[in-house]
Structure 1
């Protein structure tokens, strides 16, 4: 696995904020942005065409994980912590970003994203061009059914999703 030097541009896409992300449709929380000074573990995640490595990530309730996410593929990919319901809601935004030219399958147009007010800077997500790396720091506040997926149009449908497995559940 290769590590890239593109952390600067990718990091601009990641905002570590303290807001909780509610699991849409079923009232449970998928957790919240974590404090980078209180990380329990670091997990490296590689994204490639239609797959993640690892495909399943084991966590514990209350644990704060720093995900170091690398796009080792040739297309734009996303690492998005959530549920099927949150991804279904987010996929419309991603389709709109494609239609408006904010992104293509291989590139992100940051100027157009800022202009359109769609910076894709949610604390549970990283949207990366090929070769970029970013960090997502997340606290898993409760054991719930959730995972991670790529919502670039056609990617999740092509199998680009993984599972978050809570220890003891």
Structure 2
């Protein structure tokens, strides 16, 4: 095999490995497809808007009463000095996602204060999940979610390593839908 052919083979193998890694990382239980927590909402059917302050180890509000089937537009602002995440999921999903966030931190894709999107893209871990937003200090974002699933243990958590453990989570109290 020539040096050129060897280089092409190495590039192809590296590309295949990166694509496989990206597929595996996006199919983990830490993402919205694996539990019945609902789905991305339609912006034309928003029932209400909730503004969320993400600070040092807290969410305000600290709990959410949500009716089954309700579509919520969350408007988040990271007012803290650290990177924070807003992630809707079950306890098991949050635990699995923490492992991915730890990989991102150890892999240099983020620090406690900055996000390195070029490194995330390179590793196939862009943190582009429908049920989560990852914000650097001072950033804001929106997330529209329809709570149509039947999971009962849904919560919002920040899975930046150490943050949830320090109390950065908020309860979602699912309530039955009411007829209008």
Normalised to the residue count of structure 1, the TM-score between the two structures is 0.83
Q: Which moved more, 1:53-62 or 1:142-151?
A: 142-151
Instruction: Report the equivalent of 2:160.
Output: 152
* Pair 1:31 & 2:43 matched: no
Contact 2:81 2:137 in 1 (8 A): yes
Instruction: Report the equivalent of 2:104.
Output: 97
Instruction: Report the equivalent of 1:40.
Output: 47
Q: Could you tell me which runs of 5 or more consecutive residues in structure 2 were left unpaired when the two chains were aligned.
A: 1-30
1:135 Cα offset (Å)? 0.5
1:83 Cα offset (Å)? 1.2
Secondary structure of residue in 2 paired with 1:90: helix
1:82 Cα offset (Å)? 0.5
CA distance in 2 between counterparts of 1:34 and 1:117 reads 25
Runs of 4+ in 1 over 4 A off after TM superposition: none
RMSD between aligned residues: 1.6
* Pair 1:22 & 2:34 matched: yes
Contact 1:30 1:82 in 2 (8 A): yes
1:87 Cα offset (Å)? 0.7
1:20 Cα offset (Å)? 5.5
Instruction: Report the equivalent of 2:95.
Output: 88
CA distance in 1 between counterparts of 2:144 and 2:128 reads 13
Normalised to the residue count of structure 2, the TM-score between the two structures is 0.78
Contact 1:46 1:69 in 2 (8 A): yes
Contact 1:21 1:31 in 2 (8 A): no
Contact 1:147 1:162 in 2 (8 A): yes
Q: Could you tell me which runs of 5 or more consecutive residues in structure 1 were left unpaired when the two chains were aligned.
A: 1-18, 24-28
CA distance in 2 between counterparts of 1:150 and 1:76 reads 9
